[in-house]
Structure 1
Amino acid sequence: MGAGHDHHGSVANAAHRHRGRLWTAFALLAALMLVEAATAVVTGSLALLSDAGHMFTDVLGIGMALAAITAARRADRDPQRTFGLYRLEVLAALANAVLLSGVAVYVLIEAVRRFGDPPEVSTGPMLVVAVLGLLANVVAFALLREGAQESINLRGAYLEVLGDLLGSLGVIGAALLIAGTGWWWADPAVAVAIALFILPRTWRLGRAAVRILVQAAPEHLQVTAVHDRLVAVPGVAEVHDLHVWTLTSGMEVASAHLTMHPGAEVGTVLAAARSALHEDFHIEHATLQIEPGAAPGACGAIEW
């Protein structure tokens, strides 16, 4: 039997490549979060408090993302951590989803209470801070947009910034409506709209993180297609014990046992199988075990 191992160590982690943008977004949003929170307390605006709460989870989420990226890179130097600490990125994304869901639920509960007796809101400071928050979120949105397509961690921060951006627009609209009509219900109404907009997106983020943590096959990849492609490799008679999962964003992993036709060359089969996985499915890390076709029972059945 032979084994093949393919690990492209030069492939940079997606989140790590965007670390500088994360730091910029972190500093910008942290400053605006403090301003929004203080203004929300002074003005009594639930919509502004909701926006500040979402911005808090942005800051916390980006901070966790940065910590996870740093830890994952340093873990590469520890021989006991054979896969590093890349899963920390996924855990940070899951924590992000839970935190943001908690803030949204709190805002919904508080808004329901306020609908019965809406308090007066000071719209001047509320409007000024909402405009500043909008500008900050536009900048952060632009910084994170590219990385959100590559990293689940950055996607979590990106979704939160998107929610905040729309939240700032809602707060501006509520402030103008209250100032123009005196309709105090606009404040909790906007808070509810922000919460209902962001909840489904955080649940999808949490679901994606859980799929990675339970080592389910990536949604965009059919395991049967991987199996059929490996069987089609010249010299391969059968494929079994095939497993495909995601280590972290942009890092798909596979392992499989390949039974060879008699007379097939091990090195040639391994090279062709690794090339097929890389080119057809973008699987950068594959561990393949080769089994001679004339050795029945060489691979014992494994119960998972």
Structure 2
Amino acid sequence: MAEASRARTAGGRDGGHGGGHGGGHGHGHGHAIAADTDRRYLTAALALIVAFMVVEVTVGVIAASLALISDAAHMLTDAMAIVLALVAMRIAQRPPHGGFTYGLKRAEIVSAQANGITLLLLGGYFVYEGVTRLVAPPEVRGALVVATGLAGIVVNLAATWTLRRADRSRLHVEGAYQHILNDLIAFIATTVAGAVIWATGWNRADAVAALVVAGLMFKAGWGLVRDSGRVFMEAAPAGTNPAEIGRRTAALEHVVEVHDLHIWEVTSGYAALSAHILVRPGADCHQVRLAAERLVREEYGIEHTTLQVDHATPELLTIGRDTPHCADPHGPAHRAGPAAGSSDGAGEDGRPAR
């Protein structure tokens, strides 16, 4: 038995071959309006960031402040992050064609991962520079640092507020937002450091602020790399329990077994599921498929499904035994309990009973 095919594009159709019944709900593609709104928010934030970055570089050089220069460099990556997000949004909206049967939706995930890696690299650089300046601190003009830091707080508050209104469930938007949010916190740390230097003359406060910013970069960068990596590795969406879904599907009326269950994310907010479901002889395969689709849609928010439903035969029930139904069975088989009309039970972990 060939593995159930991946989720279809919008407007899936019903059909069957050799007793199998496949079905799918098309993924909602009504993201065009939301994408246009997000694009406006991102563009507005980009304009704020670029305008202030030029000012900050100039003042940072004059004041000899590593904290200001690190903030300016961070703002440059902010701008790059927003540009990447804008480009990814444009690419991801292209329709499927050729071998790209999902289109280029994962361009958004590439953008998020690039932003995460950039934050990690910048964090490493500023750790090095911060430690160096702790050992041999230069003279820093605290008053200039405070004035520029306060202005930066205002600018980044405006940019952060703008991006908070965008759809942050999309990883590429969240990546840009994390850049801006970290920059806001960095400006607060820089302003505090400038005030300390201005009041006490302790120039190492500038390096301490840079190290604090580096720590925040590591935290945000790792989160983006981890979350985008889950999508690339086709893991189930965070918070989704495939074993639970398998058990609940197997508990539906007339279902004998569920196997080859796959749940993955095409891109942020676009989950898909495929599975092979075996039902008791004489049961209505179409009704079982509809019940399974309703379960995963209403309980787990998964609208894009491809389900192959067959009547159970002795041959198909040999999955996981000496003669499996295919050469490479994928994952556990979830069996119905005795109340559902099966003599085979399944353990709590979803493995087939032996």
Q: TM-score range by the shorter chain?
A: over 0.9
Instruction: Identify unmatched segments of 5+ residues in structure 1.
Output: none
Contact (CA 8 Å) 1:68, 1:92: kept in 2 or not? yes
Q: Could you tell me which residue of structure 2 aligns to residue 9 of structure 1?
A: 28
**1:184 paired to 2:187:** no
Evaluate the alpha carbon distance shift between residue 13 and residue 287 of structure 1 in structure 2; reply closer, same or farther with a 3 A threshold.
Answer: farther
State the 1:134 CA deviation.
Answer: 0.9
Q: Choose which of 114, 119, 130 in structure 2 pairs with 1:95.
A: 114
> What's the Cα RMSD here?
2.0
Shift of 1:64: 0.6
Residue 281 of structure 1 and its aligned partner are, at CA, apart by 0.6
Flag the structure with larger Rg.
2
SS in 1 for 2:328: coil
8 Å Cα contact 1:14-1:249 kept in structure 2: no
Aligned to 1:162: 181
User: Counterparts of 2:39 and 2:239 in 1: how far apart (Å)?
Assistant: 26
Q: CA–CA distance in 1 between the matches of 2:293 and 2:175?
A: 32
User: What CA distance in whole angstroms lies between the structure 1 residues aligned with 2:77 and 2:208?
Assistant: 21
Equivalent position of 1:21 in the other structure: 41
Tell me the CA shift for residue 148 of structure 1.
5.8
Distance 2:32 2:127 in 1: 37
The answer to whether the Cα contact below 8 Å between 2:21 and 2:286 also exists between their aligned partners in 1 is no
Residues of 1 paired with 2:225 and 2:33: CA distance? 19
Which segment is superposed worse, 64-73 or 39-48?
39-48
Q: Quick one: percent identity of the two aligned structures? A: 35
Task: Name the structure 2 match of 1:56.
Answer: 76
Alignment of 1:1-304 (within 5 A): 1-12=20-31, 16=35, 18-74=38-94, 76=95, 78-147=97-166, 149-294=168-313, 296-297=315-316, 300-302=326-328
In structure 2, distance between residues paired with 1:12 and 1:28: 26
Q: Which runs of no fewer than 5 residues in structure 2 stay unpaired?
A: 1-19, 318-324, 331-354
State the 1:67 CA deviation. Answer: 0.6
Q: Which moved more, 1:25-34 or 1:251-260?
A: 25-34
For 1:300 and 1:107, locate their aligned partners in 2 and report how far apart those are by CA, in whole Å: 53
Change (3 A) 1:148 1:105: farther
Q: Deviations over 1:63-91 (max 9, x none)?
A: 111111100102x1535421111111111
> What displacement does 1:38 show?
2.4
Deviation at 1:114, TM superposition (A): 1.2
Shift of the alpha carbon at 1:294?
A: 3.1
What letter corresponds to residue 300 of structure 1 in structure 2?
C
Per-residue deviation at 1:146? 4.5
| Secondary structure of the structure 2 residue equivalent to 1:78 | coil
* SS in structure 2 of the partner of residue 6 of structure 1: coil
CA distance in 2, matches of 1:176, 1:152: 36
Distance 1:38 1:284 in 2: 51
| 1:239 to partner: Cα distance | 0.5
**Rounded Cα–Cα distance in structure 2 between residues aligned with 1:64 and 1:15:** 18
Cα distance in 1 for partners of 2:123, 2:42 equals 23
The amino acid of 1:132's aligned partner reads: A
Which deviates more, 9-18 or 143-152? 9-18
How far apart, CA to CA, are the structure 1 residues paired with 2:46 and 2:192?
26
3-state SS of 1:7 partner: coil
TM-score (norm 2): 0.80
CA shift for structure 1 position 235:
3.0
Shifted more, 185-194 versus 128-137: the winner is 128-137
Secondary structure of the 1:283 match is: coil
Asked if 2 retains the 8 angstrom alpha-carbon contact of 1:101 and 1:202, the reply is yes
Give the Cα separation in 2 of the matches to 1:235 and 1:147.
44
CA distance in 1, matches of 2:328, 2:256: 20
